Amino acid sequence: MSPPKNFMRFATIVLTLLAIFLGNIASAANSAHETISSYGVIAAKKMIVGVDYWAGMDKSHFLNRDLPFLKEAGIRILRLEFGEWSLDNLATLIPEIKSQGFEVLGLLMRKDLVEDINAWESWVFDVVSMFKDKVKVWEIWNEPNWNTGFGAPGDPVKYTEFLKRAYIKAKQADPECVVLGGSILGTDNAGLNFLRLMYENGAKDYMDALAYHPYCTTVSPLYPYETSTGKAFWKLEWVKNIMAEYGDGNKKIWITEIGWATNGTNSVTEDQQALYINQALNLAKSWGWVEAFIIYNWMDGGGLYFGLTRTRYNPPYTYENFCKPAFFTVKNFTIP
């Protein structure tokens, strides 16, 4: 980008930070929490915050370890994957999650069915039917523009057909459910082009909102330039512009994954993680069109260190041994 554009980007971010500061003062005076309607659409005075949660988690760890910390952090929605994990385990876990006042975002994905679209749509209908009393928001696939079943760098035409079939079957099973399309990884040219090709192939009428994963590796979400890969958190504005170009500008964006790793390749410190999550939360809130902000993820695990909490399976569970600084960042944002 040319220097004048960089200057304008910097100036925009400075003004955004001022708006965030003033907005936080106003929100502190208003203690009203967001609510979720009976059919899953957010009726929010402020953006809803959630976390990606391991669908293989047993009920005892949810109740005895995670529950008090999730509530203290002000988490309102848990994103759970359907497909890789036993539906029997989810049928046990989800009622406990719901009984404690959380909502569930169901991620529908079956890589083993990517060559059988008829089996895929039948499975979607069965799952939504099975959980329609507990799960009202469904995300169709995870990062289809990456190597998650549709090849690398993904096939937007094929994915859009899977989205259409899933949307139709989900609405047949539960007309009041909300279907999220896209689940696109990255705001680089590849991610943006994938979105355009989705719209070119008729995606507009087959999603109620757009899911997006605006990772920006190790840099701040306020970094005013593109990274070396072309990704930047602020380029969600470009995503919104593309939606408007295709007559879809009134729909909201759900950030269904965003995070920074605190160990391994492309990692940051725990303090940086906390700072960047705080910056991203406030910038997304200031836009006004981000309906949900779901952090990847709740707890470190599987060789990944994106969690708000550290891997720990045995008590005692304390702030010192379980919670990272980012946990308190989220708590300070969500609790007035």
Domain count within the chain: 1
Tell me, what's the pLDDT at 215? Answer: 96
Residue 294: in which H helix or E strand, if any? strand 290-295
Give a yes or no: residue 297 inside a domain. yes
Q: What is the pLDDT of residues 68-94, one digit of tens each?
A: 999 999 999 999 999 877 899 999 999
Tell me, what's the pLDDT at 45? Answer: 55
Q: What is the pTM of this model?
A: 0.88
Give strand pairing partners of 255.
Answer: 212, 293
pLDDT, mean of residues 108-119 = 97
Give a yes or no: residue 193 inside a domain. yes
Give a yes or no: residue 13 inside a domain. no
Give a yes or no: residue 310 inside a domain. yes
Domain of 82, in residue numbers: 42-334
Residue 175 — pLDDT band, cuts 50, 70, 90? Answer: very high
- Give CA torsion, residues 261, 265, 270, 274, to 10 deg: -40
> Could you tell me which of 225, 228, 240 has the C-alpha nearest to residue 5?
225
| 108 close to 127: Cβ distance less than 8 angstroms | yes
Give a yes or no: residue 31 inside a domain. no
pLDDT at residue 44 greater than cutoff 60: no
Q: What is the pLDDT of residues 215-264, one digit of tens each?
A: 999 999 999 988 888 889 999 999 999 999 999 999 999 999 999 999 99
CA pair distance 95, 81, nearest whole angstrom: 15
Give a yes or no: residue 210 inside a domain. yes
pLDDT at residue 36 greater than cutoff 80: no
pLDDT at residue 25 greater than cutoff 80: no
> Could you tell me which of 126, 211, 210 has the C-alpha nearest to residue 174?
126
Q: DSSP state, 145?
A: T
Residue 35 — pLDDT band, cuts 50, 70, 90? Answer: very low
> Could you tell me which of 205, 202, 228, 206 has the C-alpha nearest to residue 217?
228
Residue 53 belongs to a domain with what CATH number?
3.20.20.80
pLDDT at residue 28 greater than cutoff 60: no
pLDDT at residue 185 greater than cutoff 50: yes
How many residues belong to the chain? 336
pLDDT at residue 327 greater than cutoff 70: yes
pLDDT, mean of residues 274-298 = 98
Q: DSSP state, 304?
A: B
Give a yes or no: residue 85 inside a domain. yes
Residues contacting 113, CB < 8 A, separation 6+: 119, 120, 123
Q: What is the pLDDT of residues 289-320, one digit of tens each?
A: 999 999 999 999 988 999 999 999 999 999 99
Burial class (CB in 10 A: 0-12, 13-18, 19+), 28: exposed
Residue located via tokens 């590796």: 217
In Å, what is the CA distance from 224 to each residue of 91, 174, 316, 329? 44, 42, 42, 22
What percentage of residues in the chain have a pLDDT greater than 70? 87
pLDDT, mean of residues 155-173 = 99
Mean pLDDT taken over the chain:
89
> For the residues of 16-64, what is the DSSP string, one character each?
HHHHHHHHHHHHHT--PPPEE-TTS-EE-SS-EEEEE--TT--HHHIII
Give a yes or no: residue 2 inside a domain. no
pLDDT at residue 161 greater than cutoff 80: yes
pLDDT, mean of residues 54-77 = 95
